[in-house]
Amino acid sequence: MTIRDVIQVVLFFVLLIGLAPILGNYMSKVFSGARHFMIPVLGWLEKLTYKFTGVNPEEESNWKMYTFGLLMFNLIGFVFVLLIQLFQAQLPMNPANLPNVSWHSAFNTAVSFMTNTNWQGYAGETTLSFLVQMIGLTVQNFVSAATGIAVLLALIRGLSRKTTEKLGNFWTDLTRSTLYVLLPLSILLAIVLVGQGVVQNFNTYETAQTIQGAEQVIPMGPAASQIAIKQLGTNGGGFFNSNSSHPFENPTPFSNFLEMLAILLIPAALTYTYGKMVGSIRQGWTVFSVMLILMLTGLTISLYAEYSNNPVFGHLSLMEGKETRFGITNSILWSTSTAAASNGSVNAMHDSLTPLAGMVAMINIMVGEVIFGGVGAGLYGMVIFIILTVFIAGLMVGRTPEYLGKKIEAFEVQMAIIAVLLPNFVILIFSAWASVSNYGLSGLNNAGPHGFSEILYAFSSAAGNNGSAFAGLNANTIFYNLALGFGMLIGRSGVIIPVLAIAGHMAKKKITPVSAGTFRTDNWLFIGLLISVILIVGGLTHFPALSLGPVTEHLLMNSGITY
Amino acid sequence: MKTIIISFKIFLFLTILTGIVYPLFITGITQILFPAEANGSLLFKDTRLIGSNLIGQQFDSAIYFSSRPSAISYNPLPSGGSNFGPTNAKLDSLVTERKKQFIIFNELDSLTIIPSEMLFASASGLDPHISPEAALLQVDRIIKARNFNKNQKQELIQCINNLAEVPQFLWLGEERINVLLLNLETDKIK
């Protein structure tokens, strides 16, 4: 590593820490319905939305109705994305004349974008028409992120209100996050990205005659508008097959820096919003600190692994699957961020990372996507871990556990356990299933322990709604499309529904005033406890599986053994 | 029932807004602000399209600087890398083979340290860059293949120095050189 590498990393985190409170403060105004500077600009659009749809923004609902609206809205999105893929050849805006998508790939993609996973079993430039990319995928990029924020807002209201059934209005939460947060940031980012060289047009693919006389077909399309929201909304589905390593998606180190920042920006800022809305900014910074510490630990291990010599390639830095303009440091900073933030876009091929760097990416996903995590999703996942931590701490000192003045009782702990167990169930059981079946093993691109890592990564990515992959695995088969599709559904709704149930029950409770006997949840002791619980629950669950994959591979690589 | 109707309406509204109005707005504004970039940074020779500034091309002729290895031979439909893991025996033998080839092709000393990017395939398969060191290692071979004299050699090295890109704003990314642009400049040396 050179001093320049260090400066880039430091600058990245300084900017992240600096921007989080600014954006976080703005978002707290937006979501609590207060006045803010975007209302004069876009307020008319919000009013128009309510007028067109007949939503009464003052009307609030209980957790069951809130959940029903959310699920209904997502279901419609799923069916729509499914249908336009199945009939894209008959629909307009398909200049490359791409055929209809197979039913299982269409199912997988529709689930994938609805659940904010954006796993890609297909290659964008040779599979999907501009129409599908725009009115199908770009829309889901926005609304799946807004859905995540809405769930978080319901949870915040559950924690900060008392003796009520009302959790807010899903439609206004959805509308406000889209109009005032995601849309303006996407517009800004998209324009800057085009300035750096990201394509944004509706042209047919161009055929060039290369200097050596060969033909090269250059793909086109409205990429920048989708890439901006794919990063900001922690979606991650690329316009092109090689995602953010493609020079048309990520042409310069500056575009790379901005896209990386966009991955973590909203999840990081939401911790501030959270603190502000639950009435204690310290609580927000506590959560932020836990996320940052876990993130930096993973990053350090990954960088160490990538900059170490290994007997197979000696002094050569492992540039397989990495781009020259980004080099090792920017590729690793990205791989750690994208896995932590449930984004899943890649600027280097994770399949070709060193075993430990690949493992850090996997662990970041396996602990439940709570290290910043998906937009909204990371934070509500973190609150699940907070509930567990408070519960465990309460058991240790023999006191009724409380969080933010709310008693944590059997129901909340049961729901929290469900939310933790279901994604882990998907990762372990589905990986095991794929590892012992021919249809599972036939997709492998690498042999030995790395082959197992490909499978394990795929199901972790699905269950954690991440979307990145050890992309050598050929997952565009009936088995993988369906198994991963259901994995994504369980990983998303298996957390959202318990979280909303917790929110609903919390809202009904009274708030106990803080006293000398209150267990503090905003100090270093709690930060340490929370990190331990995350690592024990997430880490121990997956340690056996990880030791069969990346750990074994690391040891073999250091003995110079290849497969 | 009311919820279902609202779901439909709000889905329709947001689809129009984020799926149609937003991409069209971005297209419109960027076609005015950055028309060349928005349309793929295309390169023309006279009126013939010869490629894009950003998309690498395959070069195997001795008179051109070579690009990085590519898992897709620089055919962008679709883009992608090899996805070989670090303990993949195929990757190991490919790297050994590439090392040998690079040394023979450029008539280098067998102990020459070859920059990593010339031995490993890129992520997109379309990486347009190599490091300036990798370009300098190829200079002698190109001079021989093109029968360049001393002045022309100086010009060629000048080209490399001119086209080498320092890290963006001095601290972002890596030093690099665009192989396609370099080869176009090389062709211009008389």
Tell me the per-residue pLDDT of A521-540, one tens digit each, with 9 for 90 and over: 999 999 999 999 999 988 88
Mean pLDDT across A218-238: 94
What is the distance between the alpha carbons of residues B37 and B48, in angstroms, rounded to a whole number?
18
Mean pLDDT across A75-102: 93
For A210, the closest chain B residue by CA position comes to B50
Within this chain, do residues B153 and B164 fall inside the same structural domain, yes or no? Answer: yes
Q: Please, which pLDDT band fits residue B169 given cuts at 50, 70 and 90?
A: confident
In tens, the pLDDT along B48-106 reads: 999 999 999 999 999 999 999 999 999 999 999 999 999 999 999 999 999 999 999 99
- In this prediction, residue B171 carries a pLDDT of 86
Q: Is B162 on the interface with A (CB under 8 A)?
A: no
- In this prediction, residue B168 carries a pLDDT of 87
Q: Is B82 on the interface with A (CB under 8 A)?
A: yes
Structure tokens at A35: 């006045």
What is the distance between the alpha carbons of residues A392 and A350, in angstroms, rounded to a whole number?
36
Count of structural domains, chain A = 1
Report phi then psi at A372, rounded to 5. 70, -55
Chain B residues in contact with A326 by the CB 8 A cut-off are 173-174
What is the distance between the alpha carbons of residues A487 and A458, in angstroms, rounded to a whole number?
10
Q: Please, which pLDDT band fits residue A69 given cuts at 50, 70 and 90?
A: very high
Asked which of A54-68, A373-387, A395-409 is least confident by mean pLDDT, the reply is A395-409
Q: Please, which pLDDT band fits residue A357 given cuts at 50, 70 and 90?
A: very high
- In this prediction, residue A238 carries a pLDDT of 85
What is the distance between the alpha carbons of residues B90 and A397, in angstroms, rounded to a whole number?
57
For A63, what's the count of Cα atoms within 13 Å in the CB-facing half-sphere?
A: 24
Contact state of A324 with B68 under an 8 Å Cβ cutoff = yes
Please give the full DSSP string across chain B, using - where no structure is assigned: -HHHHHHHHHHHHHIIIIIIIHHHHHHHHHHHH-HHHHTT-EEEETTEEEEETTS-----STTS------TTTT--TT-------TT-HHHHHHHHHHHHHHHHHTT--TTPPPPGGGTS--SSS---EE-HHHHHTTHHHHHHHHT--HHHHHHHHHHHHHHPBPPBTTTBS--BEEHHHHHHHHHH--
Within this chain, do residues B29 and B100 fall inside the same structural domain, yes or no? Answer: no
What is the distance between the alpha carbons of residues A541 and A538, in angstroms, rounded to a whole number?
6
Within this chain, do residues B64 and B158 fall inside the same structural domain, yes or no? Answer: yes
CA A482 centroid distance within chain = 21
- In this prediction, residue A122 carries a pLDDT of 83
Asked which of A268-282, A438-452, B21-35 is least confident by mean pLDDT, the reply is A438-452
Query: Domain residues for B82?
Result: 41-188
| Element housing A259 (H / E) | helix A253-278
Contact state of A351 with B14 under an 8 Å Cβ cutoff = no
What is the distance between the alpha carbons of residues A335 and A349, in angstroms, rounded to a whole number?
9
Count of structural domains, chain B = 2
Within this chain, do residues B19 and B33 fall inside the same structural domain, yes or no? Answer: yes
Within this chain, do residues B107 and B146 fall inside the same structural domain, yes or no? Answer: yes
Contact B150, B108 (CB under 8 A): no
Report phi then psi at B126, rounded to 5. -125, 15
- In this prediction, residue B56 carries a pLDDT of 97
Contact state of A195 with B22 under an 8 Å Cβ cutoff = no
Q: Is B35 on the interface with A (CB under 8 A)?
A: no
Percentage of residues of chain A with pLDDT beyond 70: 100
Q: Does A312 fall in a domain? A: no
In tens, the pLDDT along B99-158 reads: 999 999 999 999 999 999 999 999 999 999 999 999 999 999 999 999 999 999 999 999
Question: Which residue type, as a one-letter code, is found at position B43?
Answer: L
- In this prediction, residue A283 carries a pLDDT of 96
In tens, the pLDDT along A21-46 reads: 999 999 999 999 999 999 999 999 99
**Mean pLDDT of chain A, nearest integer:** 94
For A45, the closest chain B residue by CA position comes to B17
Mean pLDDT across A361-368: 94
Within this chain, do residues B1 and B54 fall inside the same structural domain, yes or no? Answer: no
Q: How far is CA A371 from CA A159, A291, A360, A407, A549, in A?
A: 21, 5, 12, 26, 22
Q: Does A283 fall in a domain? A: no
Q: Is A251 on the interface with B (CB under 8 A)?
A: yes
What is the distance between the alpha carbons of residues A413 and A548, in angstroms, rounded to a whole number?
31
- In this prediction, residue B58 carries a pLDDT of 96
Query: Domain residues for A528?
Result: 375-558
> CB within 8 A of A165, min separation 6: which ones?
A62, A63, A504, A507, A508
Q: Please, which pLDDT band fits residue B32 given cuts at 50, 70 and 90?
A: very high
What is the distance between the alpha carbons of residues B132 and B141, in angstroms, rounded to a whole number?
16
How many residues in chain B? 190
What is the distance between the alpha carbons of residues A193 and B157, in angstroms, rounded to a whole number?
32
- In this prediction, residue B190 carries a pLDDT of 83
How many residues in chain A? 563
For B13, the closest chain A residue by CA position comes to A49
Within this chain, do residues B13 and B94 fall inside the same structural domain, yes or no? Answer: no
- In this prediction, residue A120 carries a pLDDT of 87
Mean pLDDT across A107-114: 95
Contact state of B11 with A318 under an 8 Å Cβ cutoff = no
Within this chain, do residues B11 and B48 fall inside the same structural domain, yes or no? Answer: no
Count of Cβ atoms closer than 10 Å to residue B82 Cβ: 25
- In this prediction, residue A309 carries a pLDDT of 87
Within this chain, do residues B92 and B184 fall inside the same structural domain, yes or no? Answer: yes
What is the distance between the alpha carbons of residues A428 and A416, in angstroms, rounded to a whole number?
19
> CB within 8 A of A32, min separation 6: which ones?
A277
Contact A537, A385 (CB under 8 A): yes
Contact A349, B83 (CB under 8 A): yes
- In this prediction, residue A490 carries a pLDDT of 96
Q: Does A243 fall in a domain? A: no
CA B18 centroid distance within chain = 32
Within this chain, do residues B10 and B95 fall inside the same structural domain, yes or no? Answer: no
Predicted complex ipTM exceeds 0.90? yes
- In angstroms, what separates the C-alpha of B150 from chain A's closest C-alpha? 25
Mean pLDDT across A165-178: 96
Specify whether the backbone of A166 is left (phi greater than 0), alpha (psi in -120 to 50) or beta.
beta
> CB within 8 A of A308, min separation 6: which ones?
A354
Helix (H, G, I), strand (E, B) or coil at A197: coil
pLDDT(B33) > 80: yes
Count of Cβ atoms closer than 10 Å to residue A472 Cβ: 25
pLDDT(A544) > 90: yes
Please give the full DSSP string across A112-164, using - where no structure is assigned: HHHTT----SS-HHHH--HHIIIIIIIHHHHHHHHHHHHHHHHHHHHHH--S-
Count of Cβ atoms closer than 10 Å to residue B147 Cβ: 8
Closest Cβ opposite residue B172 in set A207, A257, A470: A257
Structure tokens at A533: 């619980």
Q: Is A324 on the interface with B (CB under 8 A)?
A: yes
Within this chain, do residues B109 and B86 fall inside the same structural domain, yes or no? Answer: yes
Within this chain, do residues B133 and B180 fall inside the same structural domain, yes or no? Answer: yes
